[in-house]
Homo-oligomer: A and B are copies of this chain.
Amino acid sequence: MTALKRIEREPLWDLAHAQLRDALLAGRFEPGTVLTLRSLAESFGTSITPVRDAVTRLVAQGVLQQGPRNSAIVPHLSRRELSDLTVVRCALEGRAAREAALHRHDDATLRKLQERLSTMQSLIAARKLESYLEHHRKFHFGIYAMSGIPLLVETIENMWLRCGPVLSYVIPEYVVLLKGWDHHTAALKAIVAGDADGAEREIVADISDAAHYLASLADSTGQLRRPSLVTS
């Protein structure tokens, strides 16, 4: 058999899962929207079976909330839930930064992160905020990957998914207002220096500051909503 094909084709529900996940993370669904299986199936051009698998998986991950009749609704994020999320994220991501600082790393990976950091700063200066988000995410997870603990990275990713929409439409204006990159450079510097306490402190400060800014935007009911949403 000459076939080295290694087909490794992905199932339909995996595609649906990825698409839904990205849409949620990008904030393309209004919080409170009920996602019906048949409408999703129609938009994907498949049967309801694959989208049911995808939605089941997303609900299990906590990305989607399950409504009254086991319907999947894209979750609102209250100030309280954001606060809880912040506690868990600080524990997890702070620990990841600490573990990263305790290891010795290749120069290549360190240089890559530093390059990303400088491109992030130039993106801020140029007000290219759409592409900043992606770099922001990759910088954080680049640090977390340096912990060498896949389970930790996976759990952190789960938490990001839960607060994804809120981050997506608030971080850009936050980062241009504040001096947010401060903690990023400090954290990376601490990791390079092997300063575990400093790395954890800076990452926790980065998360806490952003969360504090977000919490100040909540309305009277404690709900966090998209501030402007200038739909093109």
Q: Chain A residues in contact with chain B, CB under 8 A?
A: 11, 52-53, 56-62, 70, 81, 84-85, 87-88, 90-92, 94-95, 99, 149-152, 154-155, 158, 162
Give bound CA distance, A70 to B14, whole Å.
11
Give bound CA distance, A56 to B91, whole Å.
28
Give bound CA distance, A150 to B84, whole Å.
8
Contact of A151 among B61, B88, B149 (CB under 8 A): B88
Residues of B within 8 A of A62 (CB): 151, 154
Contact of A56 among B53, B94, B154 (CB under 8 A): B53
Residues of B within 8 A of A60 (CB): 56-58, 60-61
Q: Are B57 and A88 in contact (CB under 8 A)?
A: no
Chain B, Cβ-Cβ closest to A62: B154
- CB A200 to nearest CB in B, in angstroms, measures 10
Contact of A149 among B61, B84, B155, B162 (CB under 8 A): B84
Q: Can you report 18 residue pairs joining A to B where beta carbons are below 8 Å apart?
A: A11-B70, A53-B56, A56-B57, A57-B60, A58-B60, A61-B61, A84-B149, A84-B150, A84-B152, A87-B95, A87-B99, A87-B152, A88-B95, A88-B149, A88-B152, A91-B94, A151-B162, A155-B155
Residues of B within 8 A of A162 (CB): 151
The 10 lowest CB-CB distance pairs between A and B, nearest first, are: A60-B60, A91-B95, A57-B60, A84-B151, A84-B149, A91-B91, A56-B56, A53-B56, A60-B61, A88-B152
Q: Are B88 and A155 in contact (CB under 8 A)?
A: yes
Residues of B within 8 A of A92 (CB): 88, 91-92
Given contacts A56-B53, A56-B60, contact A151 B81 (CB under 8 A): yes
Residues of B within 8 A of A90 (CB): 95
Chain B, Cβ-Cβ closest to A63: B60
Give bound CA distance, A150 to B87, whole Å.
11
- CB A201 to nearest CB in B, in angstroms, measures 15
- CB A173 to nearest CB in B, in angstroms, measures 26
- CB A42 to nearest CB in B, in angstroms, measures 21
- CB A165 to nearest CB in B, in angstroms, measures 16
Residues of B within 8 A of A53 (CB): 52-53, 56
